Amino acid sequence: MSENEPMVTYKKNDIIDILKEINLLVVSMNDIGMASIDDANINLAEELLKFLQENDILEKLSEARMILSEPFENEKTEDGNEFLESVMSNLNYWKRKYKAKE
């Protein structure tokens, strides 16, 4: 990290809460993946979906994103676009590889 790079600050409790949710997600997804390798009766996709839904993971990630995005709310790119929107547009989002069966 460069000494001249701008800094952002967050409330300590917000970061602890976000880190707890990330840890829950990483450890649990690893455990589910390893269990599905060890036990052919475990359906990986089904278990992942069940975990995500039962733990409201999408809601929690959305809340974390909102907290982390807050310092960038008014930041614009040189061409006037929203800074974070511009950064996020370059991510490799999941796309369906095959057409849905009719």
Residue 38 domain boundaries? 12-75
Is 35 contained in some domain?
A: yes
State the DSSP code for 99. P
Is 101 contained in some domain?
A: no
For 5, 68, 72, 83, the CA distances from 80, given in Å and listed in that order, are 21, 21, 14, 8
What's the pLDDT at 98? 85
Contact partners, residue 21, CB within 8 Å, separation at least 6 = 57, 60, 61, 64
Is 71 contained in some domain?
A: yes
Is 53 contained in some domain?
A: yes
What percentage of the chain has pLDDT greater than the value 70?
98
Is 41 contained in some domain?
A: yes
Distance CA 35, CA 33 (A): 5
0.95 exceeded by pTM: no
What's the pLDDT at 62? 96
**Where is pLDDT greater, at 41 or 1?**
41
Number of structural domains the chain divides into: 1
pLDDT at position 60 over 70:
yes
What's the pLDDT at 1? 61
Is 100 contained in some domain?
A: no
pLDDT at position 96 over 90:
no
Confidence band, pLDDT 50/70/90 cuts, at residue 47 = very high
Are the beta carbons of 84 and 75 closer than 8 angstroms? yes
What percentage of the chain has pLDDT greater than the value 90?
81
**Where is pLDDT greater, at 41 or 100?**
41
Is 87 contained in some domain?
A: no
- Dihedral pair phi/psi, residue 91, rounded to 5°: -75, 155
Are the beta carbons of 52 and 58 closer than 8 angstroms? yes
Are the beta carbons of 53 and 47 closer than 8 angstroms? no
What's the pLDDT at 46? 97
Is 59 contained in some domain?
A: yes
